[in-house]
Amino acid sequence: MVCIMAALVMEYWVIPTPYLVMGGTDARKYYNVCDNIYRFTPIWVTYEEKDTIHSHNESISVKNYLRMIVFLKLC
C-alpha cells in the first residue's frame, strides 16, 4: 500500500485521504478469493459526480474511469 501511495504522490502530486463510506461495499464478497482488499475508489469526486452516485443514471466521468485503470495497473 505504501508503494501505491508513493506512486500517486510522485505521478499526480496528490495524497490519498480517507473518507467514511456509509453502507456496505462489495469488498466483503472477496475475503475468500484474495489476500488484499483495498476499501477505496481511486477517483476524484466532483460535486457534480457526487450527486450521481447511487441515483438515476449513476455514472462517473471518462477521465475518472481512466484514472482508475491507471491506478489499478500500479497495484
What is the model's pLDDT at position 29?
Answer: 81
What is the model's pLDDT at position 23?
Answer: 58
pLDDT tens for each residue of 34-43: 887 766 677 7
Phi-psi region of 42 (alpha: psi -120 to 50; beta: other; left: phi over 0): beta
What is the model's pLDDT at position 17?
Answer: 67
Task: Give the residues of the chain that fall short of pLDDT 70.
Answer: 1-10, 14-25, 38-40, 75
Can you state the percent helix, strand and coil of the chain, rounding each to 5?
A: 45, 0, 55
Number of helices (H), then strands (E), in the chain:
3, 0
| 3-state secondary structure (DSSP) of residue 6 | helix
pTM of the predicted model as reported, rounded to 2 decimal places: 0.53
What are 22's three cell numbers? 456509509
